């Protein structure tokens, strides 16, 4: 009975600890209202159009243009960027490429997904995708790991015939993320997310009528703000491991201690 009670307690604690872990495996970005989604794209890093996760941004342009969007990604998220290019009715074969850069404008490698594809002459659309590595809360200065902050999406054609240059195209871009949870947690965090200044704002001094100009950071950020970087479900599993170890010790002692007083061994010759 005692062993059964110990195992029941362990299973109950395992079920309680698995609940937040299952929640972490679900997509972290809830669908946003498409009515507020952007309908244009920037032409450089500084003019990149801000895009919330879960939104589908659209833009019209010409073949040969560089189209830029920006979005925010926090620690523990694994962003996936998808783009659809609607091609003109008549065109030659052309190759499009989807690039993602972090807040330091370092190009991030795609963990998987077709970020470069070639459209045939009769193709009406082209789909591109790029799934980044999991965003880390902290990294070495020499590493190229994804860090919390602003990310930039660049969509452009990289190979086409001169006769197709300037033809009208329309594009759709969407960013979603999966929350990886404590398996990607690290012991450290950035002092501030990598959100470079992209504009200038006028700040008035309360004590005087003079105004000064200061750099304004990107206004886009994840839902609920940036995470502190120290909490993850890894703490839950660590605590659960300690409890299970204690229960295992108690169960082992109960099995090996014996159920009565030791027998007296008669002396030799009796």
Structure token pair of residue 268: 């030799």
CA–CA distance from 58 to each of 1, 34, 144, 209 (Å)? 64, 10, 30, 42
Structure token pair of residue 253: 């002692």
* Inter-residue contact 116 to 98 (CB < 8 Å): yes
List the pLDDT tens digit at each of the 270 positions of the chain: 444 454 455 545 555 444 444 444 334 444 445 668 899 999 999 999 999 999 999 999 999 999 999 999 988 899 999 999 999 988 899 999 999 999 889 999 999 999 999 999 889 999 999 999 999 888 787 888 888 999 999 999 999 888 889 999 999 999 999 888 666 666 666 777 788 764 434 344 444 444 444 434 456 777 767 775 455 566 666 777 888 888 888 888 788 876 555 666 667 766
Distance CA 79, CA 178 (A): 7
Domain boundaries, the chain: 17-201+213-217
**What torsion do the CA atoms of 190, 191, 197, 200 make, to the nearest 10 degrees?**
160
What does the pLDDT read at residue 180? 81
Contacting residues for 115 by C-beta, under 8 A, at least 6 apart: 97, 98, 99, 128, 129, 130
Distance CA 20, CA 225 (A): 19
How do 49-50 and 67-73 pair as beta strands? parallel
What does the pLDDT read at residue 107? 94
DSSP label at residue 81: E
Which CATH class name applies to 17-201+213-217? mainly beta
Helix axes 2-24, 234-256, angle to 10 degrees: 170
CA–CA distance from 156 to each of 50, 165, 256 (Å)? 18, 12, 70
- 40: three-class secondary structure by DSSP: coil
The most distant pair of C-alpha atoms in the chain lies apart, rounded to whole Å, by 113
């Amino acid at each position: 009975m005692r062993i059964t009670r110990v195992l029941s307690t362990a299973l109950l604690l395992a079920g309680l600890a698995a609940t937040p872990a299952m929640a972490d495996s679900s997509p972290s970005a809830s669908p946003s209202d498409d009515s507020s989604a952007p309908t244009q794209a920037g032409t450089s890093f500084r003019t990149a159009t801000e895009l919330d996760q879960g939104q589908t941004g659209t833009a019209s342009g010409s073949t040969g243009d560089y189209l830029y969007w920006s979005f925010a990604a926090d620690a523990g998220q694994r962003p996936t960027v998808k783009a659809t290019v609607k091609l003109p009715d008549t065109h030659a074969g052309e190759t499009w490429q989807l690039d993602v850069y972090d807040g330091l404008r370092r190009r991030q490698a795609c963990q998987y997904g077709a970020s470069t594809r070639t459209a045939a002459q009769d193709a009406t659309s082209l789909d591109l995708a790029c799934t980044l590595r999991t965003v880390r809360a902290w990294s070495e200065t020499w590493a190229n790991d994804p860090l919390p902050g602003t990310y930039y999406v660049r969509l452009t054609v990289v190979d086409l015939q001169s006769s197709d240059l300037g033809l009208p195209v329309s594009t759709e871009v969407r960013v979603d993320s999966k929350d990886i949870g404590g398996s990607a947690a690290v012991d450290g965090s950035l002092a501030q997310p990598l959100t470079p200044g992209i504009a200038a704002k006028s700040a008035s001094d309360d004590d005087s009528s003079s105004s000064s100009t200061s750099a304004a950071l990107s206004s886009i950020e994840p839902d609920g703000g940036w995470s502190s970087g120290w909490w993850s479900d890894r703490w839950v599993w660590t605590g659960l491991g300690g409890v299970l170890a204690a229960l295992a010790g108690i169960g082992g002692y109960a099995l090996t201690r014996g159920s009565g007083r030791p027998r007296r061994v008669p002396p030799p010759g009796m």
